[in-house]
Amino acid sequence: MKRTIAALCLAGLCGAVRAPRADDPARAAHTFAIGRGAFLLDGKPFQIIAGEMHYARIPREYWRHRLRMAKAMGLNTIATYVFWNYHEIRPGVFDFHTGNRDLAEFIREAQHEGLWVILRPGPYVCAEWDFGGIPSYLLESPAARVRSNDPGYQRAAARYIRALGEQMHPLLVTHGGPILMVQVENEYGSFGNDSAYKNATRRMLVGAGIDVPLFTADGDEEFAQGSIPGVFASATGEENYDSLSARAEPFNRGFGPNMIAEFYPGWLTHWDEPLPSTPLSGFLSKYDSLLARGASVSLYMFHGGTNFGFTSGANYTKTMPIEPSMTSYDYGAPLSEAGWPTEKYYALRDVIRRHVPYPIPAVPAKLPVIAVPAFRLTKSADLFDLAARASPVHAQDPRSFADLDQSQGYVLYRHHAAVALDGELAVPGLRDFAEVFVNGRRVATLDRRTKRFTAHVSVPAGGRLDIFVENMGHINYGPLLVDDRKGIVEPVTLGGQRLSGWDMFRLPFDAPSTRAGNTTDAGRPSVYRGSFTIDGTGDTFLDMRGWHRGIVFVNGVNLGRYWRAGPQQTLYLPGAWLHRGRNEVEVFDLEGHVASPSITGLTTPILDQLEH
């Protein structure tokens, strides 16, 4: 990893700003201001008709297609969050250029397609993204508090905003770019009411050279707490015009139009819960009315995309300590996860057409879709094969992922029993899911979701106790996000006795496994490998219904988590990541006893099938 980071820096990828593309349109500076009752673009009233899409959730090769789909629905602006932890790959080391991290290129492509941009850089963003975009290394110190004036957090956030400012400065509307506005923090009113913190975040942005109008975005009950004097206040939620106006007037005092930064045509989905219903008629009539009365509105989401890899976050409720978000971020958006226009897309297009003076282009053709015949995979290694080739960290008590310098994936915690142990195994600090093994045999499953932190376990003298822990996504919303350290974060007891002396094996799965073993044990988490051959590329959806729970790599790319619980039963595989000919697949399944280890590529996704 250190060599990779050094190479990025030597290549100029840690902070250098790229030159504009040769085919970019002429970039003349514009003015954008908040006037009386309206936004003013070059001195003329401008209504923002926007939709949110996230560059990190879309294959880079498809950015242009998705932007053209936005233009063809009638949007004139794209809003996007910026994910701090996606760009700060190690403390103080930033990558704004490789692969999907090339934010500046995404914004230039939006400008090339004739779209303006609203930037939402946080530093906290929520977005059902892991830890709301905050880097998990900030959890190494239990005393640190994110989203606060804690000096450690402030230094790290300021470093990020400075690095971002270097990239974004040439792309602000005042410098010939398409960025009209930049958001300060995100829905802070639902978290706190610290004026000093809010103003410190505003000063960071201004100090980084952000010289376009700033704004805040907050929900109904938190509007007052999240606002900042002198910063334009916008709303989130399905507001009607009159209620929106009543809330905004005390803060904006007649400046600017009424604005909804997040107007929801759909909603998010967690694992093991039904797909939300998103009725069309009521939503459309509100949207129509808002546009008719001059409000500026951004749809959240216009196109959700996918939580590739381990990027999905988690929520919680009073009864459920953690609710992990699905890999698909389809969100019930008008443009589906795979970029297909839906009934909602065409209905919104018809509404927008009635309110805009500019022509709306034809809808682009759908990208190619292919079926992949069933192909078999073979078990190549199990959990203990992987651990045998890893270097353990030793400590008296279990350490969190952050303390082990690991953000995502899995950790195997191992204790050797000097004497026989029998009784209740208690892992109160489990975050989030664990399989328990004694001498290599699975004996229990623990789950933070269901508050199952104990199980009866017997370990013979000289025996080995293994607790294999999965991070199911750092909490991304609400007060509990401030201390959502992963792994085992409290001492472990067995039969009331505190267990001291642990070896911890880090298994981040930030790349496919290169290790192999000879195990045939059917009860352990296992790696399976296989391949398929195709004559032509296209998007497909891997059918994981014969599997249990885990992750899938295709040609070295982690497509994200699957889980038989549903409702998502397929993983979106973009054709841009496939090759004509042979394609390599690796599956890490946490159950490890797959009856028929094969996969088929479907032409349509399955996102609504729960299994109990």
Query: 241-252 and 280-292 are packed helices; what angle lies between their axes, rounded to 10 degrees?
Result: 50
180-193 per-residue burial string, b: 16 or more CB within 10 A, e: under 16? bbbbbbbbbbbbbe
**Six-digit token string for 300:** 């959240």
**Six-digit token string for 307:** 């939580």
Query: What is the rounded distance in angstroms from the CA atom of residue 102 to the CA atom of residue 393?
Result: 35
DSSP-derived pairing of the beta strands 179-183 and 214-218: parallel
Catalytic residue among 88, 187, 337, 470: 187
Q: With left for phi above 0 and alpha for psi between -120 and 50, is residue 469 left, alpha or beta?
A: beta
Residues sharing a CB contact under 8 Å with residue 364, sequence separation 6 or more, in sequence order? 65, 68, 69, 72
Catalytic residue among 52, 262, 337, 435: 262
With helix as H, strand as E and coil as C, how does 80-124 read?
EECCHHHHEEECCEECCCCHHHCHHHHHHHHHHCCCEEEEECCCC
**Six-digit token string for 416:** 């050797």
Q: Is 105 a catalytic residue?
A: no
**Six-digit token string for 342:** 């839906």
Q: Which amino acid is at 144?
A: A
Instruction: State whether residue 61 is helix, strand or coil.
Output: helix
Query: What is the rounded distance in angstroms from the CA atom of residue 73 to the CA atom of residue 540?
Result: 24
Instruction: Provide the greatest CA pair distance for the chain.
Output: 80
Map tokens 């913190």 to a residue.
197
Map tokens 């088929």 to a residue.
600
Find the distance separating the first CA and the last CA of the chain, reported in whole Å. 40
Q: Residue 196: in which H helix or E strand, if any? A: helix 195-207
Contact criterion met (CB below 8 Å) for 519 and 385: yes
Q: Is 187 a catalytic residue?
A: yes
Q: State the sign of the Cα–Cα–Cα–Cα dihedral 525, 90, 167, 124.
A: positive
Q: Which residues are part of the catalytic machinery?
A: 187, 262
